[in-house]
A and B are shown apart, each in its own frame.
Chain A
């Protein structure tokens, strides 16, 4: 067809504005008592919490065999994979990685159906800071970075940089472009938002008295200058109050960001962590800005697969480590093989614990001096919802990569098929996120574990109905992933938590790699901690051989 040479009548924007008046009509439809009952299935999937909960009962068969091994990596999330990859790259091959789940990847696992691949949790990677060399190398090795421009800046594969439209917000009854929205805020709200964002942005180029950047990724390389560290002694809610931020929108926005990235509300998040979120992402690229991000239909599972491809032969799934103890200068790791229903004792020179602290608490059978309770994890649900006709999700702004509703307590949903070109495909999968952080993690966890499929179906549909009244007719299938311990929450004083110092140092020939020891749960931290733990192993090995 030839072009849209003559636009009769009205342009898209004015037409859509007009259609906005019709918002009441779909609501009438939704109330139709004759509308069909939902004709779709809801299933609960995800990490096998049953296997995990065996740890609590602690009834495992006695090991029948013993295996000698130089190094065991416990846990197959990103930090474990990253540690394994680093060992392998340094020609260190005498190691195994054991994972309790059926699949490798931790929070970066993914699924697939007839429509698309989709993530079980983590969905994206911001454009990395270009001085994070290990990460840049990894991305180059796997062609996510395709080359470097004349200025030496990385060039990313354009199909992986999140396409426009990236974000939209359902605010005051309509979908608006951007998060925060480019229109629709009043003067007061705009002024305060600009004040906050300008201030946090100004930290992107600040250097502390110790010569380190104020906030950076990896977080451990941030300045310890008191000027910045003092933010860790208050919550971001207290900080905002102290600085006279009062508009409802700004508080909502910062709270949304904290929940989205840390799983905790502003009342429970360290101000330092919140600043880190706003001020650390300063990545440069030849063909993207520091606000851009890398996204794939399967989310960070894409990165998991890349990591796995380097260490495939070392990976063992459905292997639950239930006890780690020291004996005569080596470590005994007791591992339960879920499939064979038998236990194995690994006698290891060294161990990398790439497991979260709520797991370590149950398997480290010696006095660590760690205050386990200082690590809190709020529960989440992540639901992948197959949608029959994606254009029905459009509104004043088209379906975007990230779609957030101001009035919902959920974190919104991501369009898994965003990075594709199949305009001839009517269907899509959306990944819906909800974080439970209003009460203590324990209370929230107890509450969500009692809910069944029907509960979650109603819970999700009722929430989405507010922005998509016809959602029930659009859904083909819902897959709910219940994450009892969604991610570590950086509470006040997390930077100076003495337990973190113990974890960073590790014990003799036993090291820690999980991202929760950094206090924030992002791919970059897990990737970094994995490398540090692997380096600790390699150093020790060098010492021994020299």
Chain B
């Protein structure tokens, strides 16, 4: 091992400490990020992953004592393995999330495997270098490089890797760095390495594999298409109520809450024009408007097109959403600065509690809640809730409820309609095609509704009066079906919803 005595080569080994430390931390961060994206609850995910990863490194360190000879060859072998496992891990996890039922098993197996391999690296390297430095010098040097690598990785990852490369490319890139270390060592210490040919062939194959992955990362991403937002995330935040993710791709902005697409800027105008105009245009002189949900300000944007409106009250649970859409320039462009309009009053609280204590009367109420996929949202679609709406609605007013897809979830849709009728409203159901969502439906509730509009803003992109007849007629496959009435003590709607949406997934 006389080669190691060369100063230059010692430095090379220490630089490789830096590289592998960076790679090691990156793999850990990738696993943590992916788990938080896919499973939510980032605190738990990061804690468990860091814990298991560090523990596995301990296993690696322990196992290192069983490697007695050919330390350099082993070290190179491990580098290749780390590179391959770390490089493909995010791809495996993306694919596994969609297709395998044992996602957690795969996730934690990969973490344990990567952790164990990374844990082997430093002890082996220290033993390789042990005769070249005195012990205190050795420990000082190796760990200095190790920790600098960790700092480098932790800064690089959120600031450059995730925004510019995405998770898949990042892991392939760092996988390649591990292999580069292996290859450089193969050449530098050529004469000191046993099984050199075998290792070189391995390194070559691994490089090829990771390069292919790196180049085709986009296609792999498309293959795991439902997770496509991961690629161009421009904002992500976990509020106390939900995970907010905003993506931007080729000029199209999309908002996801808990992995569910809320709108795509490419066609949200269809959704929001249909939500607001068929009803609001039929109210004479609308002044006071209430919007429940709709923290993105897009419905507000449409309401502001009515000059008679002088007050809009928006009640949305999540202040993170309203703050985001109020302050982000990109999103202000989308909602036309509606959330900073002086006519608007934003209240961040639970809509049901707010409505129960409300005494104001509104001319038009827009209800734009998430779909009824759980008990707490399901409450907002019950008879009790519509009775509270009754108290807040002017006798000449109307309200509209976004009511999921009448095509995919026919029973759910008509259940909303029938529930509104059961508390004494007349209803008018309508639907349209929104490319991002498919057929989408709304139900309007009122005592009397003008057959013709009083005022309809011009320059709408989709809706005009000629659409009205088409939207209110339902083809046979979406026509009304009898359903039970959704009440607080049965929450039948969330059962319908789960059954119907469960089938299409």
Contacts and interface: CB of A to CB of B under 8 A. Distances in A.
A445 B263 CA distance: 62
A162 B317 contact: no
Given A164-B375, A423-B376, A6 B505 contact: no
Interface stretch (B74-82, B98-106, B137-145): B98-106
Interface in A1-38: 1-14, 17-19, 21-22, 25, 28-29
Interface in B38-95: 39, 47-48, 51
A78 to B, nearest CB: 25
Given A1-B296, A8-B227, A162 B257 contact: no
A424 B350 CA distance: 6
Contact of B379 (A6, A28, A29, A163): A163
A25 B402 CA distance: 39
A177 to B, nearest CB: 10
Contact of B298 (A2, A17, A166): A2
Interface in B250-274: 255-263, 268, 271-272
B263 to A, nearest CB: 6
Contact of B436 (A5, A18, A421): A5
A161 B489 contact: yes
B101 A18 contact: yes
Interface stretch (B15-23, B364-372, B465-473): B364-372
A8 B259 contact: yes
B261 A165 contact: no
Given A29-B48, A421-B350, A287 B487 contact: yes
A421 B356 contact: yes
B502 interface: yes
Contact of B502 (A11, A165, A423): A11
A288 interface: yes
Contact of A3 (B104, B317, B349, B371): B371
Nearest to A389: B240
A444 interface: no
Given A3-B370, A426-B240, A9 B356 contact: no
A324 to B, nearest CB: 45
Contacts of B268: 2
Contacts of A5: 260-263, 271, 371, 404-405, 434, 436-437, 440
B501 A11 contact: yes
A21 B109 CA distance: 13
Contact of B368 (A3, A6, A22): A3
Interface string A398-439: 100000000000000000000011111110000000000000
Contact of B48 (A4, A21, A25): A25
Nearest to B503: A11
A13 B490 CA distance: 18
Interface string A448-489: 000000000000000000000000000000000000000000
Interface in A213-261: none
Interface string A271-309: 000000000000000011000100000000000000000
B104 A21 contact: yes
The range of chain B's interface size is 35 or more
B128 interface: no
Nearest to B382: A158
B402 A12 contact: no
B260 A163 contact: no
B147 interface: no
A13 B293 CA distance: 25
Interface in B315-366: 316-318, 321, 348-350, 352-353, 356
A159 interface: yes
B368 A2 contact: yes
B374 interface: yes
Interface string B482-505: 000001111100000010011011
B373 interface: yes
A5 B402 CA distance: 10
B420 to A, nearest CB: 15
Given A1-B368, A3-B402, A21-B104, A161 B295 contact: no
Contacts of A161: 488-489
B316 A11 contact: no
B374 A398 contact: yes
A5 B274 CA distance: 14
A135 B359 CA distance: 33
A28 B371 CA distance: 35
Which of B321, B353, B434 has most A Cβ within 10 Å? B353
A464 to B, nearest CB: 19
A424 B436 CA distance: 30
A159 B272 CA distance: 32
Nearest to B319: A424
B97 interface: yes
Contacts of B490: 164
A21 B105 contact: yes
A8 B261 contact: yes
A9 B226 contact: yes
A340 B348 CA distance: 51
Contacts of A426: 240
A420 B352 CA distance: 9
A13 B373 contact: no
A311 to B, nearest CB: 30
Nearest to A470: B44
B370 A1 contact: yes
Closest 5 CB pairs of A and B: A421-B352, A4-B371, A5-B437, A164-B491, A6-B261
Interface of A: 1-14, 17-19, 21-22, 25, 28-29, 158-159, 161-166, 287-288, 292, 398, 420-426
16 contacts: A2-B402, A4-B371, A4-B373, A5-B271, A6-B260, A7-B373, A9-B259, A12-B498, A17-B101, A18-B101, A19-B39, A21-B104, A158-B487, A162-B489, A287-B487, A292-B489
